[in-house]
Structure 1
Amino acid sequence: MQLFKKATTSLLIASLTFTSPVMATSYSDLPEIGTAAAGTLTVEKEIEYGDAYMRMLRGSQPIVNDPVLSEYISSLGASLVANANDVKTPFEFFLIRNRDINAFAFFGGHVALHTGLFLHAQSESELASVVAHEIAHLTQRHLARAMEERAKQTPLTMAALVGSLMLAIAAPQAGIAAAQATTAASIQSQINYTRSNEKEADRIGLETLSRSGFDVNAMPIFFTRMADQYRFASKPPQFLLTHPLPDSRITDSRSRAQQYPQRTVPLSPEYHLARARVIARFAGIDSAAAIDWFDRQLKKASPARAQSLNYGKALVYIDSRQFDKAGKLLAPLYKAQPNNRFYLDAMTDLDVAQKHYDAALKRLDKALASQPNNAVLLLNRDYVLVKAGRYDEAIKGLVRVTHRFPANTNGWSLLQEAYDSEGIRHGALAAQAELYALQGRWHKAINNYTQASQLVELGSLDQARYDARIDQLRVQEARFAELQR
């Protein structure tokens, strides 16, 4: 589904989807073990802060709203969360379009990965090692513990402390500037504390990695490659600024990895398809350079790797409107794996670009027969209906999709387009209002719903629904404002 490969764009918050947040299966059975921060910041308050900052991120960062990539990283994250200890919040995993190598985690179980990670991680286990590390930061409540440490050294309010700490992890210099009462001693204390957190996250992340069936050696391998590549760089990537890699940390991770059962992990086709999709559509390189990269990789690729590389080439050809070339590459891939959602999504893009709407719908309906609740397939089908001008059908489907996946910006954007095209102004305003709310732009959201309420019949069900939503948004706006005090 190509429509939403363009990213949306107040505050970058903590360093190192459209799917429902991920929970560990044992979440409800976990006891409240307590931490040094338990009296300072409850888990419930962490979730509130996390939701608020996630909304800010949606409005300020180029989040990748790609259904297939979102599904992939959410699935990868879920497999790790299911094998993590001390999980006390839902988890949500998402991508930010940024070639810099970085990942970060923040309150409420939010984990962000830069697309640049896919350009440097050479296996799924390497990517999983970064995600497992971030999950450990959250399960060990490192942010909450760091906030308590800072609270002893500065008179800042809770909201100011949370904001400055998150900034400090995302961009250390910005964070230090934000905490105006910070002394040189407390800065050094914060740095030392963060290094301690990093080692703890490595240790616990390795355990999660092993339990999840990944190669534990991927963590020291990835660390070593990063350190060697940027050892003498005048401007290291953000990952090394926020995740310092001294030799002691690399040695420690290598030593710990050797203590786990060694296993050979087979190549992950899904990872390499996701990587090819990132390179084709989110790496910021032109089509000629992308095709050249895929061709060079194909010369030395195994048959399994060649499939993902040809998939990536096909995406580039679709985006550059070379449809015959794209079709020749995609057709055999789809024929061999007709339920592979990477291929289904690409075939949809190809058909829509050529206005072959009936062929696309037939293919998607066949896939939905066995996967009726899959968000990627549902969104693709509604996308085709919108592009085919079948707006009434699309609206019915999208109302169901947005009800099931309310944080899915793709669904709301498509619904707004369908309502606008059908001339239903109040529906378009309401759909846009939900997009505003997901960005924490409460005033605009309330204003949109107010206009929508005025456009519909007095006393109608639509008006009652819009007015009720206005009341809900005002409550959310008040809670949001309270967090900033």
Structure 2
Amino acid sequence: MMRLRIRALLCSCLSASLLLPTLVSADTNDLPDIGTVAGATLSIDQEEQYGDAYMRILRSRQPVINDPVLNEYINTLGHRLVSHASDVKTPFTFFLIQNREINAFAFFGGHVALHSGLFLHTRTESELASVMAHEIAHVTQRHLARSMEAEAKRSPATIAALAGSLLLAIAAPEAGIAAITATSAGSVQSQINYTRANEKEADRFGIETLAKSGFDPYAMPRFFGKLSEEYQYTSHPPAMLLTHPLPDSRITDSRERAQHYNHVKLPYSTDYQLARARVVVRYAGIDEKAALDWLQRQRKKNDPIILAASDYGTALVYLDNKQYDKAAPILASLLKDDPQNHFYLDAASDLYIAQGKAKQSVQLLAQALKQSPHNSVLTINYANALMKAKQYQDAIQVLQRYSHDHPEDANGWSLLSEANSHTGNQQEEFAARAELFALKADWDQAIQYYTRAGQLAKLGSLEQARYDARIDQLITQREQFLALQR
């Protein structure tokens, strides 16, 4: 029963997203001002340690989107919000999961996950930002740690045991809803009540962050309202709305809170519309015809930004379907109007490579990097272009620096492994591949590949010493990771 209660706690906390119920009074000041307690539960350092472990598990079990352009966009947007949030004590990382279900969740260490389906249901950047601001508040107010503290008061389990069981529950997500239904009614009710308090607080801080960041604070109640209308009479609503319906009281409460701020009328965001088109074309799971139909419907809004995003999405459809002669003039026109746009440069680079013009891709990106040196999107594309141009040693130099600066980006390690394979440097190929396994918490495979790299290295060389040192680090990380589950 204790394990079931803990797993139910996890499902309540990690699903404490924008869609969970919040029963609130009409008085917007009637809110639990409970601050950022939970210091007795976990330190910030411990939360970051658990967050790193959870992230590695998610990479191995969920379709995390490793798209440099989309990752740059959501992290730029997310950190704009974080810079105006209250009580920020951890660094933040934002990432996308390919899933058409409407959902977002936050967990230890400032990790915020967004389902790609959010781009299909939001209509403006402010609406997407409202979801992210809400999740940021869950982190800054330490709701997961505080919920653990509440559970610890109801049970004889130690904090270490609770935290370890939370990690196990994430590693076995199939226990989720079944565990909740198997838990005693009293335990479930107490968890729901605590989650409602968290949701009130996250809504309050979220709208405040939204307004301070220059977004429309009315976007949150507007998004709530659209979801309520869309799924009010449907026989197949999203799973989140089946288990946690969105009550009218929460919509009303968010509207009243928004009225404390000025209404902000913003133009369409170019990057949001481009990101939305990219998600529809590449991550919505629809075919070419459906994507083109969607893009054509968007054009009816007759706004220059929407038209450009529709053109960009159309070019991606043609590019992905090898209709290069149709994609080329569209991308050329877009780049002429906005030559430093990373969405356009990424697509143009891929087009040149697909056309067998890798050297032109290298030249395009080298020129762009002069304007934005060290930019992650341009750098990873540049490295890929160098590889396609068979300039493997140059690619390796770029990727070594990139992987040092972005050690959690699987793209860098994957390309570095491939580049070393082309040069016949098997030991470095194995070392890069080891890092890919480590990112997914497959410590044994990571250690095995570094061991193989060390066996190929010259005895007593700096390379062998580096591999041995990394093996020691991975062994330590593995033991720390396993200790979290005990």
Alpha-carbon distance in structure 1 between the residues aligned to 2:359 and 2:170: 49
Aligned residue in 1 for 2:463? 462
- State the Cα deviation string for residues 105-128 of structure 1 (Å, max 9, x = none): 001000000000000100000000
Alpha-carbon distance in structure 2 between the residues aligned to 1:120 and 1:483: 37
Alpha-carbon distance in structure 2 between the residues aligned to 1:67 and 1:61: 18
Q: How does 1:16-165 map to 2 (within 5 A)?
A: 16=17, 35-158=36-159, 161-162=162-163
Q: How does 1:264-343 map to 2 (within 5 A)?
A: 264-343=265-344
Amino acid at match of 2:441: G
Aligned residue in 1 for 2:348? 347
Moved more, 388-397 or 135-144: 388-397
Q: Is the partner of 1:407 in helix, strand or coil?
A: coil
Alpha-carbon distance in structure 2 between the residues aligned to 1:241 and 1:477: 38
Instruction: Structure 2: give runs of 5+ residues left out of the alignment.
Output: 1-9, 18-33
Alpha-carbon distance in structure 2 between the residues aligned to 1:61 and 1:94: 12
Alpha-carbon distance in structure 2 between the residues aligned to 1:171 and 1:412: 27
Shift in CA distance, 246/164, structure 1 to aligned 2, threshold 3 Å:
farther
Aligned residue in 2 for 1:395? 396
Alpha-carbon distance in structure 1 between the residues aligned to 2:169 and 2:410: 29
Aligned residue in 1 for 2:222? 221
- State the Cα deviation string for residues 233-292 of structure 1 (Å, max 9, x = none): 344224435764211111000111011012211210010000000011111111121112
Task: Give the aligned CA root-mean-square deviation in angstroms.
Answer: 2.3
- State the Cα deviation string for residues 154-202 of structure 1 (Å, max 9, x = none): 3445455346668999999944655899532111110111122112111
Shift in CA distance, 301/34, structure 1 to aligned 2, threshold 3 Å:
closer
Shift in CA distance, 150/236, structure 1 to aligned 2, threshold 3 Å:
farther
- Contact 2:36–2:140 (Cα < 8 Å) also in 1: no
Say if 2:240 is the partner of 1:261.
no
- Contact 1:102–1:238 (Cα < 8 Å) also in 2: no
Q: CA deviation at 1:81?
A: 0.2
Alpha-carbon distance in structure 1 between the residues aligned to 2:299 and 2:235: 33
Alpha-carbon distance in structure 2 between the residues aligned to 1:129 and 1:169: 26
Aligned residue in 2 for 1:212? 213
Aligned residue in 2 for 1:26? none
Alpha-carbon distance in structure 2 between the residues aligned to 1:226 and 1:214: 20
Alpha-carbon distance in structure 2 between the residues aligned to 1:440 and 1:159: 20
Aligned residue in 2 for 1:370? 371
Alpha-carbon distance in structure 2 between the residues aligned to 1:261 and 1:83: 17
- State the Cα deviation string for residues 130-177 of structure 1 (Å, max 9, x = none): 000000011111111111111122344545534666899999994465
Percent sequence identity over aligned pairs: 59
- Contact 1:168–1:176 (Cα < 8 Å) also in 2: no
Amino acid at match of 1:353: A
Amino acid at match of 1:115: S
Moved more, 243-252 or 123-132: 243-252
Q: Is the partner of 1:55 in helix, strand or coil?
A: helix
Shift in CA distance, 45/458, structure 1 to aligned 2, threshold 3 Å:
same
Q: CA deviation at 1:37?
A: 1.7
Q: CA deviation at 1:323?
A: 0.5
Shift in CA distance, 163/328, structure 1 to aligned 2, threshold 3 Å:
farther
Q: Is the partner of 1:85 in helix, strand or coil?
A: coil
Alpha-carbon distance in structure 2 between the residues aligned to 1:459 and 1:241: 62
Moved more, 294-303 or 158-167: 158-167
- Contact 1:333–1:343 (Cα < 8 Å) also in 2: yes
Alpha-carbon distance in structure 2 between the residues aligned to 1:448 and 1:164: 30
Aligned residue in 1 for 2:7? none
- Contact 1:14–1:167 (Cα < 8 Å) also in 2: no
Shift in CA distance, 323/292, structure 1 to aligned 2, threshold 3 Å:
same
Q: How does 1:240-259 map to 2 (within 5 A)?
A: 240=241, 244-259=245-260
Amino acid at match of 2:133: A
Amino acid at match of 2:104: A
Amino acid at match of 2:237: P
TM-score scaled by structure 1? 0.90
Aligned residue in 1 for 2:405? 404
Instruction: Provide the aligned length of Structure 1 versus Structure 2.
Output: 459
Say if 2:414 is the partner of 1:413.
yes
- Contact 1:446–1:470 (Cα < 8 Å) also in 2: yes
TM-score scaled by structure 2? 0.90
Amino acid at match of 2:210: L
Alpha-carbon distance in structure 1 between the residues aligned to 2:80 and 2:72: 12
Alpha-carbon distance in structure 1 between the residues aligned to 2:95 and 2:76: 11
Aligned residue in 1 for 2:195? 194
- Contact 2:95–2:114 (Cα < 8 Å) also in 1: yes
Alpha-carbon distance in structure 2 between the residues aligned to 1:242 and 1:109: 26
Aligned residue in 2 for 1:359? 360
Q: Is the partner of 2:106 in helix, strand or coil?
A: strand
Shift in CA distance, 379/169, structure 1 to aligned 2, threshold 3 Å:
closer
Alpha-carbon distance in structure 2 between the residues aligned to 1:168 and 1:246: 28
Q: Is the partner of 2:96 in helix, strand or coil?
A: strand
Q: Is the partner of 2:113 in helix, strand or coil?
A: strand
Instruction: Structure 1: give runs of 5+ residues left out of the alignment.
Output: 1-10, 17-32
Shift in CA distance, 85/168, structure 1 to aligned 2, threshold 3 Å:
farther
Alpha-carbon distance in structure 1 between the residues aligned to 2:81 and 2:285: 29
Comparing both chains, which one has the higher relative contact order based on Cα–Cα distances under 8 Å and sequence gaps of 6 or more?
Answer: 2
Shift in CA distance, 230/163, structure 1 to aligned 2, threshold 3 Å:
farther
- Contact 2:353–2:388 (Cα < 8 Å) also in 1: yes
